[in-house]
Structure 1
Amino acid sequence: METLMRNPVFPKQAACILGSSIAIALVASFAAGAFAPGARMYGSLSPALLVGVSSLATGLAATLLFCIFSYHRYEEISRLSAEIDAVLHEGRPLIISDYREGDVAVLRNEVGKVCARLSKTAEDLAEEKRALANALADISHQIRTPLTAAELMVPVIERSSDAREQAKKLRELESLIDRVSWLVTSLLKIARIDAGAIKLTSQVTGAADVVRAAVEPLAVAFDLNDVTCEIRVAPETRFTGDAAWTAESLSNVLKNCMEHTPAGGTVRVEASEDAVACRFCISDSGPGIAQADLPHIFERFYRGSAGTESDDAGTAADYESAMRPKGFGIGLSLAQALVNAQGGSIRATNAAHGGARFDIVFPKLTV
């Protein structure tokens, strides 16, 4: 009741109801002739006075009921206010499973929904902050490895008096620079995709042209790694989408397969078309993908058990890792982003005959 009386509105409301009840009782008494001539002041009460008394009693009862109702109402509001303070200052969740009727119950449920939404927003922001911190750590680690290898290689080149050895080390140094350039370029592409800054077009073109555009940049790398690239695409197979960015995604998958295929192996590219979709299939004759890695193969910076690098900067492990790279964990993530941006899907499995298999499907738009 103390909380109720502290409310500035409640005493005014109660006084208004009580005053109105007394006024009604007096008016009723006068109207009925409670003070008419001949009415005795003492003795038996006149009917008019009884009407006034009953009206006053009714008013008092109404005032009492109003006080009880208001007390419970303000108590509920006070509890809700205390719970909101606990949510704001102590981080406790607000329980909104209030199935009672009434304005306060409705208000409680609505406030609970707002608190739940704000809590979810705070969790999302915290998760994004953690993801950003992890991404920055991964990027710095990925760039550090080839740069460390290049740093170790410079004094070797300076001390070497053999022209052939110097030429070999210079080619390796150039390869490291190319790797860093590719990494930075890929990260910028992913950032543009995440920001929605890449404009994708949709045109009908030959699937063979898309595959050819994906394979050509890797032709020298296939030769250096002694890996054969087989293309099996029917000339009449058509593809509808952004040919340039699709070739980029296929090229990233091809690069990944090539890096995990031993010398003398084969990477195969196939394309087919039906009434539902245009499908690309890329497979290799390598060892395949570990079952533990399959669910994470498209995660950004995920490299699997075979791609673990040393965390000690400036060591020979960094040099060896840079010279025999197994990828940055960027290519497949970029490929998936480009495919998904066009409404397609990409799935990684292990082929029945061995090796990894990537199925890329672009559904056809139907009206």
Structure 2
Amino acid sequence: MFLYNPEVKRFFSKYIVLMFVAITISVGFSIINMNITKGMIVKNNQAIIGTLSSKYPNLEREIVDIITQGKSMRNIDYGEKILSKYNYDKSIKINTEPIISKLVLDTIKINIILVCIIFILIFILVVSYFKVMYNDLSDMTKYVYYSSEGKPFDMKNKNQEGQVGLLKTELLKMTTILNEKVELLKSEKIFLNNTISDISHQLKTPMTSLIMLNDLLYNDIPCEVKIDFLDKIKNQLNRMDWLIKSMLKLSKVEAKVIKFKKDKIKFSELIHRAIQPMKIPMEIKNQKLTIEGNDNVSYIGDIDWSVEALVNIIKNCIEHTPEFGNISMTYKENPLFSELIIKDDGEGIDKKDIPHIFKRFYRGKSSSKEDSVGIGLAMSKSIIESQNGDIYVNSEKGKGTEFHIIFHKMYADNSD
């Protein structure tokens, strides 16, 4: 409500104080005016008593009583008759009555002075109020100007009450949001540039191979060699197709343009779907898979993208685990989070490579897989973190690797 506004309340409180000051001044001026009037009446009565008493000394007491105490009104009619002869009655003009004439002039002067004082006080109040408002508006204008120029500016009275204070708070909030969006746009621009650079870099090698193989096909070469070249071209095209699709998926996830579902997912179902495409590679290498966990253990997320992440991790374990090796999956939960542990007894990861294995296109120097691109684990990390999860790895060279995937329960509460 308007009257509850702090600025308005402050203004009216000062106005009320000013009103009481004006009333006090008005009462003071009225007392002064009455004292002037009293002085003039006293002098006039003194002149009357002096004149009459000098001629009629025996009536002095009676005249004094009449003038000072107003006790006798017996001869008022007679007095009216006498004065009427000289046109002195109620119809007399103000300027012809000496006392009243003088009193009117003094009263007008006093009232003019009083009005001027009240006007000056109101003027001071209004000017001070608008000065404060002007300073606030000027401060906010400078803040907007300097912010638009990217220069620092400390806005004064940021925590004051009222609509002006609220406006300052919203202005600070708005500029903070705009700055964040500008930074986000910059980071998105850098991200887009890096993504394009990564894709072009990764496609350079297979593109070069394709050009070379294509040029060689124009030569007069045996049919068997042509077939071999065509197979190589097909492999390179398949590799490029996979790489482009994977990069687009990873870019979408990292750019946060994908809206992940928030379904309740059981780990048993997630693992069942993730291991289906991995069964043949495991059978080829005669690897043993062990799964342990309560069927009721679950988390909140998107099962399709979760399967994508888990497949990449399982694939990594299969590729770096020797024939007749073992891969195990264990899932459990507590009041804070649900956890899936994927463990293998493969070649392990060098200690210096562990901090970098989730980076895009990173390949460990000691990795035995030469055709690895280094995009699968980066995609898995981005997908898991986008579902309020975390992933970390424990590994030792020659002793296997453990991937720990954690989904926090807070995610489920926020989904309501």
Bin of the TM-score, shorter chain as denominator length: 0.5 to 0.7
Q: Tell me if the contact between 1:238 and 1:273 (Cα under 8 Å) persists in the aligned partners.
A: no
2:379 to 321, 334, 357: 334
**Which residue pairs with 1:148 in the alignment?**
208
- The residue type paired with residue 326 of structure 1 is S
Report the count of equivalent residues. 316
2-structure distance, mates of 1:100, 1:247: 50
2-structure distance, mates of 1:207, 1:106: 50
2-structure distance, mates of 1:50, 1:179: 102
2-structure distance, mates of 1:140, 1:188: 13
1-structure distance, mates of 2:386, 2:173: 33
The alpha-carbon distance between structure 1 residues 199 and 144, as it changes in their structure 2 partners (threshold 3 A), is: farther
Moved more, 339-348 or 57-66: 339-348
Q: Encode CA deviations 1:341-366: one digit per residue, 9 max, x unaligned.
A: 55544222324864443223456879
**Which residue pairs with 1:271 in the alignment?**
329
Moved more, 152-161 or 343-352: 152-161
**Which residue pairs with 1:14 in the alignment?**
none
**Which residue pairs with 1:350 in the alignment?**
395
The alpha-carbon distance between structure 1 residues 335 and 352, as it changes in their structure 2 partners (threshold 3 A), is: same
Q: Using structure 2 for the length normalisation, give the TM-score.
A: 0.59
Q: Encode CA deviations 1:176-199: one digit per residue, 9 max, x unaligned.
A: 222112122323444665433676
**Which residue pairs with 2:312 in the alignment?**
252
Which residues in structure 2 correspond to 1:187-336 (within 5 Å)?
187-190=247-250, 194-196=256-258, 202=264, 204=266, 205=268, 209-210=272-273, 212-216=275-279, 218-219=281-282, 229-234=287-292, 240=298, 245-258=305-318, 261=320, 264=322, 268-276=326-334, 277=338, 279-283=340-344, 285-286=346-347, 288-291=349-352, 293-299=353-359, 301-304=360-363, 306=365, 324-327=370-373, 329-336=374-381
Q: Encode CA deviations 1:189-213: one digit per residue, 9 max, x unaligned.
A: 4466543367676555467634531
The alpha-carbon distance between structure 1 residues 43 and 109, as it changes in their structure 2 partners (threshold 3 A), is: same
The alpha-carbon distance between structure 1 residues 267 and 94, as it changes in their structure 2 partners (threshold 3 A), is: farther
Q: Encode CA deviations 1:94-125: one digit per residue, 9 max, x unaligned.
A: 42463574655554343222222211111111
**Which residue pairs with 1:314 in the alignment?**
none
Q: Using structure 1 for the length normalisation, give the TM-score.
A: 0.65
The alpha-carbon distance between structure 1 residues 66 and 303, as it changes in their structure 2 partners (threshold 3 A), is: same
Moved more, 193-202 or 124-133: 193-202
SS of 1:98's partner is coil
**Which residue pairs with 1:92 in the alignment?**
151
SS of 2:327's partner is strand
Q: Encode CA deviations 1:253-293: one digit per residue, 9 max, x unaligned.
A: 2333455x38x5676421224353452414353351553x5
Over alpha carbons, which structure has the higher Rg?
Answer: 2
Q: Tell me if the contact between 1:207 and 1:271 (Cα under 8 Å) persists in the aligned partners.
A: no
Q: Tell me if the contact between 1:257 and 1:267 (Cα under 8 Å) persists in the aligned partners.
A: no
Q: Tell me if the contact between 2:282 and 2:318 (Cα under 8 Å) persists in the aligned partners.
A: no
Q: CA RMSD in A?
A: 4.5
Q: Tell me if the contact between 2:291 and 2:329 (Cα under 8 Å) persists in the aligned partners.
A: yes
Work out which structure has the larger RCO, using CA pairs closer than 8 Å and 6 or more positions apart in sequence.
1
Q: Give the deviation of 1:131 after TM superposition.
A: 0.9
Would you say 1:115 and 2:186 are equivalent positions?
Answer: no
SS of 2:358's partner is coil
Q: Tell me if the contact between 1:306 and 1:326 (Cα under 8 Å) persists in the aligned partners.
A: no
1-structure distance, mates of 2:293, 2:181: 51
2-structure distance, mates of 1:91, 1:50: 59
Identity score, percent: 20
SS of 1:133's partner is helix
Q: Tell me if the contact between 2:305 and 2:383 (Cα under 8 Å) persists in the aligned partners.
A: yes
- The residue type paired with residue 334 of structure 1 is M
